[in-house]
Protein backbone atom coordinates (compact mmCIF):
# COMPACT_ATOMS: atom_id res chain seq x y z
CA UNK A 1 0.00 0.00 0.00
CA UNK A 2 1.52 3.31 -1.05
CA UNK A 3 0.72 6.67 0.54
CA UNK A 4 0.97 10.26 -0.56
CA UNK A 5 0.83 12.71 2.35
CA UNK A 6 0.15 16.42 1.90
CA UNK A 7 -0.10 19.18 4.47
CA UNK A 8 -1.81 22.51 3.86
CA UNK A 9 -1.87 25.51 6.16
CA UNK A 10 -4.24 28.42 5.63
CA UNK A 11 -3.58 31.82 7.19
CA UNK A 12 -6.47 34.31 7.16
CA UNK A 13 -5.82 37.85 8.37
CA UNK A 14 -7.69 41.14 8.24
CA UNK A 15 -11.10 39.77 7.35
CA UNK A 16 -13.98 42.05 8.31
CA UNK A 17 -17.08 39.87 8.38
CA UNK A 18 -18.71 37.43 10.69
CA UNK A 19 -16.43 34.63 11.76
CA UNK A 20 -19.14 31.98 11.38
CA UNK A 21 -19.82 32.93 7.76
CA UNK A 22 -16.14 33.08 6.96
CA UNK A 23 -15.58 29.71 8.55
CA UNK A 24 -18.37 28.14 6.46
CA UNK A 25 -16.98 29.59 3.26
CA UNK A 26 -13.45 28.57 4.13
CA UNK A 27 -14.55 25.03 5.03
CA UNK A 28 -16.32 24.76 1.68
CA UNK A 29 -13.25 26.05 -0.13
CA UNK A 30 -11.00 23.62 1.77
CA UNK A 31 -13.29 20.74 0.82
CA UNK A 32 -12.76 21.74 -2.80
CA UNK A 33 -9.01 21.96 -2.21
CA UNK A 34 -8.96 18.44 -0.73
CA UNK A 35 -10.95 17.07 -3.65
CA UNK A 36 -8.70 18.78 -6.18
CA UNK A 37 -5.53 17.61 -4.41
CA UNK A 38 -6.84 14.05 -4.41
CA UNK A 39 -7.75 14.24 -8.10
CA UNK A 40 -4.38 15.75 -8.96
CA UNK A 41 -2.42 13.20 -6.90
CA UNK A 42 -4.17 10.30 -8.61
CA UNK A 43 -3.74 11.94 -12.03
CA UNK A 44 -0.01 12.50 -11.45
CA UNK A 45 0.48 8.92 -10.22
CA UNK A 46 -1.48 7.50 -13.15
CA UNK A 47 0.57 9.61 -15.54
CA UNK A 48 3.74 8.09 -14.13
CA UNK A 49 2.35 4.54 -14.29
CA UNK A 50 1.28 5.04 -17.89
CA UNK A 51 4.51 6.76 -18.94
CA UNK A 52 6.64 4.00 -17.44
CA UNK A 53 4.46 1.25 -18.98
CA UNK A 54 4.24 -0.46 -15.61
CA UNK A 55 3.63 -4.18 -15.94
CA UNK A 56 0.93 -4.26 -13.29
CA UNK A 57 -0.85 -0.99 -14.01
CA UNK A 58 -4.36 -2.39 -14.47
CA UNK A 59 -5.06 -2.98 -10.75
CA UNK A 60 -2.84 -0.18 -9.44
CA UNK A 61 -4.60 2.21 -11.83
CA UNK A 62 -7.97 1.64 -10.15
CA UNK A 63 -7.14 1.09 -6.46
CA UNK A 64 -7.15 4.61 -4.97
CA UNK A 65 -8.66 5.90 -1.73
CA UNK A 66 -8.74 9.33 -0.12
CA UNK A 67 -8.20 9.55 3.63
CA UNK A 68 -8.62 12.89 5.36
CA UNK A 69 -7.14 13.65 8.74
CA UNK A 70 -8.21 16.91 10.37
CA UNK A 71 -5.75 17.96 13.06
CA UNK A 72 -6.92 21.36 14.25
CA UNK A 73 -5.42 23.96 11.94
CA UNK A 74 -3.62 21.33 9.87
CA UNK A 75 -5.21 19.48 7.02
CA UNK A 76 -3.72 16.10 6.15
CA UNK A 77 -4.74 14.35 2.98
CA UNK A 78 -3.50 10.82 2.45
CA UNK A 79 -3.93 9.26 -0.95
CA UNK A 80 -3.46 5.50 -0.82
CA UNK A 81 -3.23 2.82 -3.40
CA UNK A 82 -4.60 -0.46 -2.07
CA UNK A 83 -3.55 -2.72 -4.93
CA UNK A 84 -1.93 -5.87 -3.56
CA UNK A 85 1.19 -5.28 -5.63
CA UNK A 86 1.40 -1.46 -5.46
CA UNK A 87 4.57 -1.85 -3.40
CA UNK A 88 6.28 -3.73 -6.24
CA UNK A 89 5.28 -1.10 -8.78
CA UNK A 90 6.39 1.76 -6.50
CA UNK A 91 9.62 0.41 -5.02
CA UNK A 92 10.44 -2.56 -7.19
CA UNK A 93 11.28 -6.02 -5.97
CA UNK A 94 14.83 -7.13 -5.35
CA UNK A 95 14.52 -9.99 -2.87
CA UNK A 96 13.70 -13.61 -3.67
CA UNK A 97 10.54 -13.59 -1.58
CA UNK A 98 9.11 -10.53 -3.36
CA UNK A 99 7.28 -11.53 -6.49
CA UNK A 100 3.97 -10.23 -7.77
CA UNK A 101 0.93 -12.48 -7.52
CA UNK A 102 0.26 -14.63 -10.58
CA UNK A 103 -3.09 -13.00 -11.26
CA UNK A 104 -1.44 -9.59 -11.45
CA UNK A 105 0.92 -10.86 -14.17
CA UNK A 106 -1.69 -12.48 -16.41
CA UNK A 107 -2.90 -9.35 -18.27
CA UNK A 108 0.67 -8.31 -19.09
CA UNK A 109 1.59 -11.85 -20.19
CA UNK A 110 -1.49 -11.99 -22.44
CA UNK A 111 -0.63 -8.67 -24.02
CA UNK A 112 3.16 -8.89 -24.30
CA UNK A 113 3.88 -12.61 -24.57
CA UNK A 114 0.95 -13.81 -26.68
CA UNK A 115 3.31 -14.85 -29.48
CA UNK A 116 5.33 -17.21 -27.26
CA UNK A 117 4.53 -20.85 -28.16
CA UNK A 118 3.77 -22.15 -24.66
CA UNK A 119 0.77 -22.25 -22.32
CA UNK A 120 -0.06 -19.08 -20.41
CA UNK A 121 0.67 -20.73 -17.05
CA UNK A 122 4.29 -21.36 -18.08
CA UNK A 123 4.68 -17.78 -19.27
CA UNK A 124 3.30 -16.43 -15.99
CA UNK A 125 5.58 -18.68 -13.95
CA UNK A 126 8.60 -17.75 -16.11
CA UNK A 127 7.92 -14.04 -15.56
CA UNK A 128 7.37 -14.53 -11.86
CA UNK A 129 10.68 -16.41 -11.53
CA UNK A 130 12.48 -13.80 -13.61
CA UNK A 131 11.23 -11.06 -11.31
CA UNK A 132 12.28 -13.08 -8.25
CA UNK A 133 15.72 -13.70 -9.74
CA UNK A 134 16.49 -10.33 -11.42
CA UNK A 135 14.24 -8.01 -9.49
CA UNK A 136 11.97 -5.37 -10.84
CA UNK A 137 12.70 -1.68 -10.99
CA UNK A 138 10.18 0.50 -9.21
CA UNK A 139 8.60 3.42 -11.02
CA UNK A 140 8.03 5.53 -7.89
CA UNK A 141 4.54 6.71 -8.85
CA UNK A 142 3.66 7.80 -5.31
CA UNK A 143 6.86 9.78 -4.83
CA UNK A 144 6.43 11.39 -8.26
CA UNK A 145 2.83 12.40 -7.49
CA UNK A 146 3.79 13.78 -4.09
CA UNK A 147 6.64 15.85 -5.54
CA UNK A 148 4.49 17.22 -8.37
CA UNK A 149 1.62 18.10 -6.05
CA UNK A 150 3.93 19.59 -3.45
CA UNK A 151 5.29 21.88 -6.14
CA UNK A 152 1.81 23.01 -7.26
CA UNK A 153 -0.21 22.88 -4.03
CA UNK A 154 -0.04 26.56 -3.10
CA UNK A 155 -1.13 27.66 -6.58
CA UNK A 156 -3.95 25.12 -6.69
CA UNK A 157 -5.19 26.02 -3.19
CA UNK A 158 -5.07 29.76 -3.91
CA UNK A 159 -7.02 29.38 -7.15
CA UNK A 160 -9.73 27.30 -5.50
CA UNK A 161 -10.04 29.47 -2.39
CA UNK A 162 -10.30 32.61 -4.53
CA UNK A 163 -12.92 30.95 -6.71
CA UNK A 164 -14.96 29.48 -3.86
CA UNK A 165 -14.93 32.44 -1.46
CA UNK A 166 -16.76 35.59 -2.56
CA UNK A 167 -14.46 38.49 -3.41
CA UNK A 168 -16.05 40.69 -0.71
CA UNK A 169 -13.20 39.88 1.60
Q: Say whether pLDDT at 158 is over 70.
A: yes
Nearest CA-CA partner of 120 in 108, 133, 135, 132 = 108
Q: Say whether pLDDT at 3 is over 70.
A: no
- Inter-residue contact 4 to 146 (CB < 8 Å): yes
Residue-level pLDDT at 169: 46
- Inter-residue contact 111 to 97 (CB < 8 Å): no
Distance (Å, rounded) from C-alpha 138 to C-alpha 88?
A: 6
Is pLDDT larger for residue 137 or for residue 6?
137
Residue-level pLDDT at 2: 60
b/e map of 57-67 (b: 16 or more CB within 10 Å)? Answer: bbbbbebbeee
pLDDT tens per residue across span 35-83: 888 999 999 998 888 887 765 567 788 888 888 877 776 767 788 888 8
Residue-level pLDDT at 15: 46
Q: What is the mean pLDDT of residues 88-114?
A: 80
Q: How many residues does the chain have?
A: 169
Q: What is the mean pLDDT of residues 148-161?
A: 86
Q: What is the mean pLDDT of residues 141-147?
A: 90
- Inter-residue contact 17 to 168 (CB < 8 Å): yes
Q: Say whether pLDDT at 6 is over 90.
A: no
Residue-level pLDDT at 123: 92
- Please state, rounded to an integer, the average pLDDT across all residues of the chain: 79
Kindly compute the dihedral angle of the four CA atoms of residues 122, 128, 130, 134, in this order, to the nearest 10 degrees. 180
Q: What is the mean pLDDT of residues 120-134?
A: 87
Which residue ranges does the chain devote to CATH 3.30.300? Answer: 2-84+139-164
Pick the CATH number of 2-84+139-164 from 3.30.2390, 3.20.20, 3.30.300, 3.30.70: 3.30.300
Amino acid sequence: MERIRLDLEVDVEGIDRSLARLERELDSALDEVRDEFYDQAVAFARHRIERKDAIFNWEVWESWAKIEEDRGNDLHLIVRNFAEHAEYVERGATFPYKAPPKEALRPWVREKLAHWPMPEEYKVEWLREKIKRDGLNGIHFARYAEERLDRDKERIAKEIIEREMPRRI
